[in-house]
Amino acid sequence: MDHFLYRDGTLRAEDVPVPEIAAAVGTPFYLYSTATFRRHFRLFDEALAGLDHLVCYAMKANSNQAILKLLAEMGAGMDVVSGGEYARAKAAGVPGERIVFSGVGKTREEMRMALEGGIRQFNVESEPELEALNDLAVTMGLKAPIAIRVNPDVDAKTHAKIATGKAENKFGIPISRARAVYDRAAGMAGVEITGIDVHIGSQLTDLEPFRQAYLKVKDLTRQLRADGHDIRRLDLGGGLGIPYQRGNEAPPLPTEYGALIRETLGDLGCEIEIEPGRLIAGNAGIMVSRVIYVKEGEGRKFLIVDSGMNDLIRPAMYEAHHDIVPVQEPAPGIARKTYDVVGPVCETGDTFARDRSMPPMRAGDLVAFRSAGAYGAVMASEYNSRPLIPEVLVNGDQFAVIRARPSYDEMINRDRIPEWL
């Protein structure tokens, strides 16, 4: 559920008509709903009620300061994967003890930053990383809290580019090596074992792979405890999918996911962490664009809009589907047409949808790309020298620009011309 609904024939974000924002901000832009963000965070928090738990929002999905602040105020922790994300989380007021640090390639500088600023735990993804972290912590006279990310060799049944839990993926330590690595870690002066971490992929639409992974984590917890390790925390990653095609998809709900966690791991007495990103942010945002031209091709109709693959790369990168709806509600029963929805970027890959059935559209009309709140703005670039598009947050009947559109001058002035030119 989200808060982008038609009322009186016009799409609104909560109580604000979308055209009002388009007039004030210009198109294209990202538009987020505070109420939806809050609702989605609460769903996870409530799904784990009764268990000692922390929902660490995977901020890679959407890391705008305003979004982080609104979630942090609700008690969210953060899952960060870079020094930049750590800095953003701290800037938004998230205390170090609520930040977990994931990622296969943490540099020493990034690890130092987190050790100095405070960290709940590092999710360690390899033995060389473990050694580097230990060395660093010893020199700093600290003990770094760690979980080891295990790769359970489970097929997440999602797009190959976002599956992470198979043995051939670059993530984590093979679960078969885990006991040996925990033994090594236990002998290191600079690290303190707190638990186990696992994350098998993103946009999972079936609970079964989670079940398989979590049962493996359960076995491992018992083995490691028998080996004498203090396993008190389980970080179960993110990955719960969202419906991108309204009416056609019904992925499991956070309550069902929470029930699975309880059922598989609830009796271990561990503190549970989860790292959802997409489900919190995805349907809390849309991208609003204007149709520039309707072009009749050979046997095809192209809807050329003013946003491109640089603004929302998911269709080009993952063949992802985003529902595209007109901002003015179409008359009921109106005959639909078939469009290829494309952007202005000079690549055929700049295609948002092919053969998409839509109500008749005209130049100047506004359209909304749904489910664009996660992995939208954060993956944007200025390719074709198209400045990053603004982000706007609605709250009831008010809205605010939470990241402004840079001017052409601002974009150009980031470049430097060397003296010798």
Using CB under 6 A, list all residues that contact ligand LLP: 58, 61, 79, 102, 162, 199, 202-203, 237-240, 275-279, 314, 318, 375
Q: Which is nearer to ligand LLP, 211 or 295 (CB)?
A: 211
Residue type, 264: T
Q: How far is the CB of 349 from ligand LLP (least distance, A)?
A: 15
For the record, the structure tokens of 404 come out as 């402004």
**Which of 2/14 has CB closer to ligand LLP?**
2
- The two tokens of residue 240 are 């719960």
DSSP letter for each residue of 176-224:
GGHHHHHHHHHT-TTEEEEEEE---BSSB--SHHHHHHHHHHHHHHHHH
| Residue keyed to tokens 């719960």 | 240
CB of 252 to ligand LLP, least distance (A): 13
Break the chain down into helix, strand, coil percent, rounded to 5.
Answer: 35, 25, 40
CB of 242 to ligand LLP, least distance (A): 9
338, 357 Cβ separation under 8 angstroms: yes
Q: Tokens 């052409």 correspond to what residue?
A: 408
28 prior amide bond cis, ω within 30: yes
Task: Closer to ligand LLP by CB, 114 or 279: give it.
Answer: 279
| 56 noted as active-site residue | no
In the complex, the smallest distance separating the C-beta of residue 12 from ligand LLP, rounded to whole angstroms, is: 26
Residue 229 or 278: the one with the smaller Cβ distance to ligand LLP is: 278
β-sheet bridge partners, residue 238: none
**In the 8-state DSSP scheme, what is residue 163?**
B
Residue 367: helix, strand or coil by DSSP? strand
Shortest Cβ 98–ligand LLP spacing (Å): 15
What lies within 8 Å, CB to CB, of 135 at 6+ separation is 190
Strand-pairing partners, residue 174, are 151
The set of residues, in sequence order, having a beta carbon less than 8 Å from that of 347 and lying 6+ positions away, is 309
Q: Which is nearer to ligand LLP, 36 or 102 (CB)?
A: 102
Nearer to ligand LLP among residue 166 and residue 290 (C-beta): 166
Cα–Cα dist 314/306, whole Å? 16
The residue count of the chain comes to 421
Q: Looking at 288-373, list the stretches that DSSP marks H as alpha helix, in order from N- to C-terminal side.
A: 314-318
N-to-C CA span, the chain: 55
Q: Select 25 or 389, whichever has its Cβ closest to ligand LLP.
A: 389
Give 210 or 339: the residue with its C-beta nearer to ligand LLP: 210
Looking at residue 405, the DSSP 8-state letter turns out to be P
List the catalytic residue out of 1, 346, 417, 421.
Answer: 346
Q: On the CB side of 128, how many CA atoms lie within 13 Å of its CA?
A: 5
Determine whether 348 is exposed, middle or buried from the number of CB atoms within 10 Å of its CB (0-12, 13-18, 19+). exposed
CB 249 → ligand LLP: shortest distance, Å? 15
> Who contacts 36 (Cβ-Cβ below 8 Å, separation ≥6)?
1, 2, 3, 283, 284, 373
Rounded least distance, CB 50 to ligand LLP, Å:
22
Q: How far is the CB of 309 from ligand LLP (least distance, A)?
A: 13
Residues acting as catalytic residues: 346
